Structure 1
Amino acid sequence: MTLYGIGLGPGEADLVTVRGKQLLESVDVVYSPGRLSRTVALNHVPESKIGDLEFPMTRNVEKLRAAWKRAAAEIAPHAIDGDAAFVTLGDPNVYSTFGHLRRTLDAFHPAVDVEIVPGVSAMTAFATALGVEVEAGAGLALREAADGHAPTGPDRMILFKVTDAPSTHERLVEAGYDVKFGRRLFMEQGETVITDDPSELAERDYYTLAYAEKRGVTTESATAAFGDGVADGGHS
């Protein structure tokens, strides 16, 4: 039958899409790669329906490949004989663990049909949380900034995995950027923090992102700005 890769959104249970919720309720088993995604899924399915998978906390490539091979072997029979889901925070195709599983299934279990259900990603939800408008015509780059990394170049960037906010902030400011941070945006687990003060984020947290914009950058608006006292149709 089918394995559904379902994006759960940034972490709040009611930000799962309607399609995602319907499929979670209809499949035979829901696999979760971690505690946070499991917590969100439990808002929509009973615990008896959850299939947990174990992955080692390591960067050793061979150990990780072995873990994904075991996961694929566990999931494949359920996805062939019935319907199963693998859930991730955010979107399954955007910096997600689901890509590892999909490639492993393609290599060792090609009979498994896979369907992706997109989810709201923190990389898009950031604009609402941080009060940022990315106007039509404006460029926006997505970069990883773990361990104090501070990529530069584009006028506007979303940086994710900002695990050393003070170091990233210092380097970006020196390069001419204004920076605003968001931690655990739209997540039920942990404290949500929105700030332009990196000292508030000295503690490392994988779920931290930043919006960086070059000082003085301008964008021509797609529509003319309305002046004070001007109503629709140009009548005051």
Structure 2
Amino acid sequence: MTLYGVGLGPGDAGLLTVRGAQVLDEVDVVYTPGRLSRSVALEHVPESRIGDLEFPMTRDEAELRQAWKSAASDVAPTAEDGDAAFVTLGDPNVYSTFGHLRRTIERFHPGVDVEVVPGVSSVTAFAAALDVEIAAGSELTLREASGGDAPVGPDRLILFKVTDVPVTHEKLVDAGYEVTYGRRLFMEQGETVITDDPTELADRDYYTLAYAERADVDDDHALFES
């Protein structure tokens, strides 16, 4: 049968897609990889159909591989005999934990079909939250910026996993960028913060992103005739 990778959206239960809600309503078990995704899933399915999966907080690759193999062993019997869903915040194919499970399932349980149900991601939802318009013709680059990293280059950047905001901010400003930060955007868990003051976000939070735009960027775009 089928394992569905379902994107829950950025954390607001109302931003789950219609297709995502339909799948969650129909599958036998909805597997969740953590507390935040579980809380969103519970807005759509009863706890009796939730399957919790535990993953270690580690960078040890051998330990992580074993954890994903164990998770695949838990999920596969349900997906072989019926239908199951693995839910993740954002989109299952964009910087998601689902990719690890999918590769493990495909290797060790080839009889399971896999289908991805895309979800609203903070990578795109930031524009609404920060009231930013990325007009046609604009160049926008997505980068990771954990631990104080600040990759630069294009006129406009979206940096996610900004875990050391003050350090990243200083580097971006020195490189000629104006920066706005969003923390826990469209998330029902925790406090949503939108600010251009890095001191407000001095504490570490994985769910922090930055929109960086060069101060001298040209925002004039050609208009198409109607």
TM-score by length of 1: 0.94
Shift of 1:11: 0.2
Find the counterpart in structure 2 of residue 178 from structure 1.
178
Output the CA distance in 2 between the equivalents of 1:106 and 1:49.
24
Shift of 1:71: 0.3
Map 1:133-172 → 2, pairs under 5 A: 133-172=133-172
Output the CA distance in 1 between the equivalents of 2:107 and 2:154.
37
Output the CA distance in 2 between the equivalents of 1:63 and 1:154.
37
Unaligned runs of 5+ in 2: none
Question: Given the alignment of the two structures, is residue 35 of structure 1 paired with residue 35 of structure 2, yes or no?
Answer: yes
1:56-77 residue CA offsets vs partner (Å, 9 max, x unmatched): 1111000000000000011011
1:173-217 residue CA offsets vs partner (Å, 9 max, x unmatched): 000000000000000000000000000000100000000011111
Residue 128 of structure 1: SS of its match in structure 2? helix
Find the counterpart in structure 1 of residue 54 from structure 2.
54
Output the CA distance in 2 between the equivalents of 1:220 and 1:100.
42
Question: Given the alignment of the two structures, is residue 85 of structure 1 paired with residue 56 of structure 2, yes or no?
Answer: no
Question: Given the alignment of the two structures, is residue 17 of structure 1 paired with residue 14 of structure 2, yes or no?
Answer: no
Output the CA distance in 1 between the equivalents of 2:222 and 2:104.
45
Find the counterpart in structure 1 of residue 121 from structure 2.
121
Find the counterpart in structure 2 of residue 207 from structure 1.
207
Check conservation: 1:91, 1:120, Cα contact below 8 A: yes
Residue 221 of structure 2: SS of its match in structure 1? coil
Find the counterpart in structure 2 of residue 70 from structure 1.
70
Comparing 102-111 and 36-45, the one that deviates more: 102-111
Output the CA distance in 2 between the equivalents of 1:94 and 1:154.
21
Shift of 1:32: 0.3
Runs of 4+ in 1 over 4 A off after TM superposition: none
Comparing 141-150 and 210-219, the one that deviates more: 210-219
1:76-135 residue CA offsets vs partner (Å, 9 max, x unmatched): 110010000000000000000000000101111111100000000001000000011000
Which residue type is aligned with residue 176 of structure 1?
Answer: G
Residue 74 of structure 1: SS of its match in structure 2? helix
Aligned residues with identical type, % of pairs: 73
- Based on CA coordinates, which of the two structures has the bigger radius of gyration? 1
Shift of 1:220: 3.6
Residue 210 of structure 1: SS of its match in structure 2? strand
Shift of 1:219: 3.7
Output the CA distance in 2 between the equivalents of 1:100 and 1:214.
35
Unaligned runs of 5+ in 1: 225-232
Output the CA distance in 1 between the equivalents of 2:81 and 2:222.
52
Output the CA distance in 1 between the equivalents of 2:222 and 2:3.
42
Output the CA distance in 2 between the equivalents of 1:131 and 1:114.
36
Output the CA distance in 2 between the equivalents of 1:114 and 1:106.
8
Check conservation: 1:137, 1:219, Cα contact below 8 A: no
Aligned-CA RMSD value: 1.3
Shift of 1:222: 3.7
Check conservation: 1:8, 1:15, Cα contact below 8 A: yes
Residue 137 of structure 1: SS of its match in structure 2? coil
Residue 213 of structure 2: SS of its match in structure 1? strand
Output the CA distance in 2 between the equivalents of 1:87 and 1:222.
41
Which residue type is aligned with residue 19 of structure 1?
Answer: R
TM-score by length of 2: 0.98
Q: How many residues were matched structurally? A: 226
Find the counterpart in structure 2 of residue 107 from structure 1.
107
Check conservation: 1:91, 1:118, Cα contact below 8 A: yes
Residue 96 of structure 1: SS of its match in structure 2? coil
